[in-house]
A = this chain, B = another copy of it.
Amino acid sequence: MTVASFHPPSRMLMGPGPSDIHSRVLQSLGRPIIGHLDPEFILMMDEIKGLLQYAFQTTNQMTLPISAPGSAGMEACFVNLVEPGDTIIVCVNGVFGGRMVENVERCGATAIKVEDEWGSPIDLNKLEDALKANPDAKAVAFVHAETSTGVQSDASAIAQLARDYEALTIMDAVTSLGGTPVLVDEWQIDACYSGTQKCLSCVPGISPITFSDKALEVIRTRNHKVQSWFLDMNLIMGYWSSEGSTRSYHHTAPVNTLYALHESLVMLKEEGLENAWKRHQRNHQALKAGLSALGLELIVDEAHRLPQLNAVKIPEGVDEALVRRRMLSDFGIEIGAGLGALAGKVWRIGLMGQSSSPRHVTLALAALEGVLTDLGVSIKDGDAAGAAQKVLLA
């Protein structure tokens, strides 16, 4: 077998992540490698910590990137904070809440599920009932922005409720970080993890994470060793702690991927969080106007809708997989399929990070209109791109 070098096809990524990556970040990836204990690398690690604190809006000392994807970031929160026999309340309104339940159970703990419809936000009354019924619950875990449905829940209110009942909070901010406000300190979230390949527009493979001092205390005073050696925060802090000379080897950091994370965070800082949030909102409004011109609806109620992840109802009788294939083959545009309970029922159009731009919105709408028309699907007003322009250029 002879294998040639791989050259990726030209794509525009508008699915649930990864999103498109700026050339500055791609170029940073290809810079020569240096050692993971090199003094210059360690200075860069400190900058990454500071930049992540900005992104998470926190002063938490334990704020750093886990050397593995978002699902490992999720697991890091659970294996460090949960011990066998604990009770954890998990809000489930999509795929990722379900994954949290798996995590709790694999820690030998009991998961009390608070379930809501896919596409609806977490119901605070149901959560309060669960907290009342389980006074020993150690933590409330929830997904801030459900990538599987495009819904955002009220993190501030959930965290307040958890505090009222003396429970910690574990928050999934994989899709929200950099796209909509994630205010870790203001909301008093105890553990929060994210991904890099969504609104940060970096390569996938690392998971930014932050723990409050209260969470740290829980980790330090555990009765059992953390079941994962690789994700044991007691050990990881030995490498990421700020005292340079006492830094101890845990695992080899993903050097070049961290170059890319650094660059993407520098770009976020340059743009400013508020501006990034506004940009995601504006492009979402434009997309919505265009979809509306095509007669397409979003499944999530306006009040809880994520601007960066748009779950679009598939019109009756349309072969949704064929539409996605045609978008990819004819235009090189990737949009996402439904996941779990929404498989076959929605397309997921991502406007995340670099993929949240007037260029993406305009082209995706024009391409979608063309494909649907070619497949004989009846559309409402048409000129979806034009409808988007009215918002974008207003």
- A contacts, CB < 8 Å to B: 1-11, 13, 15, 17-18, 20-21, 24, 26-36, 38-41, 44, 47, 50-51, 54, 67-72, 74-75, 79, 99, 102-103, 105-107, 195, 197, 203-205, 225-230, 249-257, 259-260, 262-263, 265-266, 269, 328, 334, 339
Contact = CB atoms under 8 A, between A and B. Distances in A.
Contacts of A255: 18, 203-204
Contacts of A259: 6, 8
A17 B252 contact: yes
Contacts of A40: 8-9
Main secondary structure of the interface of A (DSSP, over half): loop
A10 B99 CA distance: 43
Given A26-B31, A36-B204, A47-B3, A68 B13 contact: no
Contacts of A29: 29-30, 256
Q: What's the number of copies of this chain in the assembled complex?
A: 2
8 contacts: A6-B28, A13-B35, A68-B69, A69-B252, A71-B230, A106-B229, A256-B260, A257-B257
Contacts of A47: 3, 6
Contact of A50 (B1, B11, B39): B1
Nearest to A9: B40
A150 to B, nearest CB: 16
A254 B30 contact: no
Nearest to A174: B252
